[in-house]
Amino acid sequence: MVLHRVWEKVSVMGVIRIRTKIPGPKSTALIRVRNESVSHATFGAIPIFVKRAQGARVEDVDGNSFIDFTGGLGANNVGHCNPRVVKAVKAQADRVLHTDFSVTMYESYVRLARALCKAAPGKSEKKAMFFNSGAEAVENALKVARYNTGRPGIICLENAFHGRTNMLLTLTSKFYPYKKGFGPYAEEVYRLEFPDVYRRPEHLSEKEFVDYHIEQAKEFFVDNTSESNTACLVMEPVQGEGGFNIPPKKWVQFLYRHCRENGVLFISDEVQTGFGRTGKMWGIEHFEIEPDIVTMAKSIAGGLPLGAVVARKHLMDHVHVSGLGTTFGGNPLACAAGVAVLEEFRQKKLLRRAQEIGKITLKRFKEWEECSPIVGNARGIGAMNAIELVKDKESKEPNKEAVGKIIKYCYERGVLLLSAGMHGQVIRTLMPLVITREELAEGLDVLEEAVFRMGGKK
């Protein structure tokens, strides 16, 4: 609370306060401990240790204050330490921490399940089940699809990222760092080409390019696998780790129709696009289709670990009793937090906020696309926006080096950002949706300065 008041005062003058070199002395000391005791396989994109965080603001152990455009990798859409979530978690902690829902049940689980079934895309009746993470949710969605169809095949997309279990690494496109050395991978996974409109051949119009990809998708079911061998097609409505790539609506609608006509289940992986990130509750709503199965995680519980599968009722109920489960999935604290998250969306009108953030951010990004020689493409839906950096705009050669420099420049000046993309060539924004206009403007100013310092002006 004290922190909140201090920040309110500071926000008149701006939020960012950088008092030390980054990392500061206390973070540096903790990084030493980390290097001694934590596997370096975890990575650490930004070299600070966080002391506390609220809304879109993060304070490190050295007293530096940052604006957070990473939102806990998309898990903090309702903001860090959202007061409604914290209150719900505290109240739940006083009553029961854990039982395992498959042993003895508790109310927060069923309340959240009911709320998510209502909130899920489409009108058909749904049922839900909870797991520990996004990966576990997707893994279980695939099990539900195979069980219901009796077919083995899974179709995923080029640039996809769905998690880090063995099956999901099979679905994931990017080899390094995700897949290197961890194979062999699972069988019966087929990868469909993604229509990257920005990188399409020059001689094709956008419409021609999309039509070409629709024909390619038809061929795919001849060349690679048949519909009768395929349990499901799984896609992110907007690709997250793959670079915030937005698929053409006509192509997605074709894939959906083709799946429905052939008994192939359509899974929308909403782990990153869900909970308002794209300005609608679910990314797939932009494509006006009702997926058979939806996977959720990240922002579902305001920062607590939780994953969910929500699917058409008959699909969920077809699986035999005790066929799906996990000890901690749908933990009472996480479910109580999830109920509070949905309430926060209603009370604070966070979908509208996401749209406003998107308008402001994408307008700035489009200006940079015009004026900066290294911003090849600016894109986004709602508050899911990105700039793709290139070495030159003709060749569109990915510019990972500039991404690294810009991210470093920004965190040293008080803005936390992450990269994405198959070549690490994309800077993405995942700021909490409760970010204020002033914080957003201040953060974008720093990013703009970095972009033009690194890349110059046209």
Ligand X SMILES: Cc1ncc(COP(=O)(O)O)c(C=O)c1O
Rg of the chain over Cα atoms, rounded to whole angstroms, equals 22
Give the DSSP per-residue string, 412-432: HTTEE-EEESTTS-EEEE---
CB of 289 to ligand X, least distance (A): 17
Measured between alpha carbons, how far is 268 from 60 in angstroms, rounded to an integer? 36
Q: Considering the complex, what minimum distance in angstroms separates the CB of residue 171 from ligand X?
A: 9
Q: Point out which residues pair with 267 in neighbouring strands.
A: 234, 293
Q: Does 161 contact ligand X by CB under 6 A?
A: yes
Instruction: Determine which residue in the list 138, 234, 264, 390 makes contact with ligand X, applying CB under 6 A.
Output: 138
Residue 241 Cβ, how far from ligand X at the closest point, in Å?
A: 6
Smallest separation (angstroms) from ligand X to the CB of 138: 5
139 binds ligand X (CB under 6 A): no
- 162 or 213: CB nearest ligand X: 162
Answer for which of 230, 272, 278, 361 binds ligand X (CB under 6 A) is 272
Indicate whether 302 belongs to the interface with ligand X (CB under 6 A): no
What's the angle, vertex CA 193, arms to CA 189 and CA 194, rounded to 5? 120
Place of tokens 């990972």: 400
For residues 50 and 58, what is the distance between their CA atoms, to the nearest angstrom?
7
Q: How far is the CB of 240 from ligand X (least distance, A)?
A: 4
Q: Counting contacts by CB under 6 A, is residue 269 touching ligand X?
A: yes
91-120: contacts with ligand X (CB under 6 A): none
| 164 touches 178 (CB < 8 A) | yes
- Report the residue from 71, 134, 248, 330 that binds ligand X according to the rule CB under 6 A: 134
Of 455, 66, 120, 422, nearest to 268 by C-alpha is 120
**Residue with the shortest CB distance to ligand X:** 134
Which parts of 223-252 interact with ligand X (CB under 6 A)? 236, 240-241
Stretch binding ligand X (CB under 6 A), from 13-21, 76-84, 129-137, 142-150: 129-137
Instruction: Give the residue, chosen from 135, 192, 238, 293, that forms a contact with ligand X under the rule CB under 6 A.
Output: 135
Among 156, 217, 297, 430, binds ligand X (CB under 6 A): 297
Beta-carbon neighbour count of residue 356 at 10 Å?
18
Q: Which of 24, 79, 163, 338 binds ligand X (CB under 6 A)?
A: 163
Cis peptide bond prior to 332, omega within 30° of 0:
no
Q: Does residue 140 touch ligand X according to CB under 6 A? A: no
Number of residues located near ligand X, criterion CB under 6 A = 14
CB nearer to ligand X: give 89 or 238: 238
- Joined tokens for residue 229: 């061998």
Rounded distance between C-alpha atoms, residue 376 and residue 378, angstroms: 7
Residue 439 as a binder of ligand X (CB under 6 A): the answer is no
Instruction: Give min distance, CB of 35 to ligand X, in A.
Output: 23
CB of 305 to ligand X, least distance (A): 8
Does 271 bind ligand X (CB under 6 A)? Our answer is: yes
Q: Please, where are the H alpha helices in 159-312?
A: 166-171, 206-223, 249-261
Q: Are 160 and 172 in contact, with CB atoms under 8 Å apart?
A: yes
SS3 call for 386: strand
Q: Does residue number 291 form part of the binding site for ligand X (CB under 6 A)?
A: no
**233 Cβ partners below 8 Å, 6+ apart?**
154, 155, 156, 192, 255, 259, 264, 265, 266, 267
- Quote the least distance from Cβ 189 to ligand X, whole Å: 15
The reply to whether 133 sits near ligand X by the rule CB under 6 A is yes
Minimum Å gap between C-beta 291 and ligand X is 14
Q: How many CA atoms lie within 13 A of 452 on its CB side?
A: 13
Q: What does the binding site for ligand X look like in residue numbers (CB under 6 A)? A: 133-135, 138, 161-163, 236, 240-241, 269, 271-272, 297
